[in-house]
Amino acid sequence: MNASCTIWNILMRHTPRRGILVEALHRRRERGLSPFSVLSCDNIPDNGHVVKNAVLGMAHKRSPELAEWIADNVSFPGTMVDRIVPAATDDSLAEIAREVGVDDPCAISCEPFIQWVVEDNFVAGRPEWEVAGVQMVQDVLPWEQMKLRMLNGSHSFLAYLGYLAGFAHINDCMADSALRDAARRLMLEEQATDAAHHRGGSDRLRRQPD
């Protein structure tokens, strides 16, 4: 067994998810089949480029020609997801059990606001996800920045001030009128200047502060 095969086998053992993607693309290339798009749903910034770099790096260990083919023919659309899923509590589990008639220790609840933004960059077509409310855009970055500033920034603001005020949880902070009003002013008077520039930003401003 040569060195490249040994490295590939080690990578497959330790990074199987990337390995499956690389192997699938390798087989499609070998058989003359069309490539596919790799859609990352990881909740991390610039996730499309992250998975692209990971796949290309692993593919190059197997074959530089394969890595070049992937770079030229495969797309890695970025995505941005925004839906808060609070930690499960005894009360939330009991409420879900009443609603569905099943006791599920893994059940989760979520907040009403939902947003999934997907870069419209697919090499072989795609489903009409717009029908289900997905926002298909040319560039995910502005939406990602809006989320980081409007949502994550406000959470950090509440966490730091709430800690100093003696609160343990964000919902405790939101129950305090002074902190709630301060967070709302931060979002509408400081952070909103960015959000208002993006399509859908005005709608988000109406709903998200509450």
pLDDT digits (tens), the chain, 210 positions: 455 555 556 555 656 788 889 999 999 999 999 999 999 999 999 999 999 999 999 999 889 999 999 999 999 999 999 988 888 999 999 999 999 999 999 999 988 888 999 999 999 999 999 999 999 999 999 999 888 888 889 999 999 999 999 999 998 999 999 999 999 999 888 887 766 555 555 555 555 555
Q: What pLDDT, on a 0 to 100 scale, did the predictor assign at position 74?
A: 98
Q: What is the pLDDT of residues 76-86, one digit of tens each?
A: 999 999 988 88
Q: What pLDDT, on a 0 to 100 scale, did the predictor assign at position 18?
A: 86
DSSP result, 91-157: HHHHHHHHHHS---TT-----S--EEEEE---BTB---GGGGT-EEES-SHHHHHHHIIIIIHHHHH
Q: What pLDDT, on a 0 to 100 scale, did the predictor assign at position 30?
A: 95
The one-character DSSP state at 42 is -
CA end-to-end distance (rounded Å), the chain: 61
pTM for the model stands at: 0.78
Number of helices followed by number of strands (H, E) in the chain: 11, 3
Answer whether 60's CB lies under 8 Å from 25's CB: no
Q: What is the pLDDT of residues 48-83, one digit of tens each?
A: 999 999 999 999 988 999 999 999 999 999 999 998
Q: What pLDDT, on a 0 to 100 scale, did the predictor assign at position 98?
A: 95
Q: What pLDDT, on a 0 to 100 scale, did the predictor assign at position 202?
A: 54
Q: What pLDDT, on a 0 to 100 scale, did the predictor assign at position 15?
A: 65
Neighbours of 68 (CB within 10 A): 13
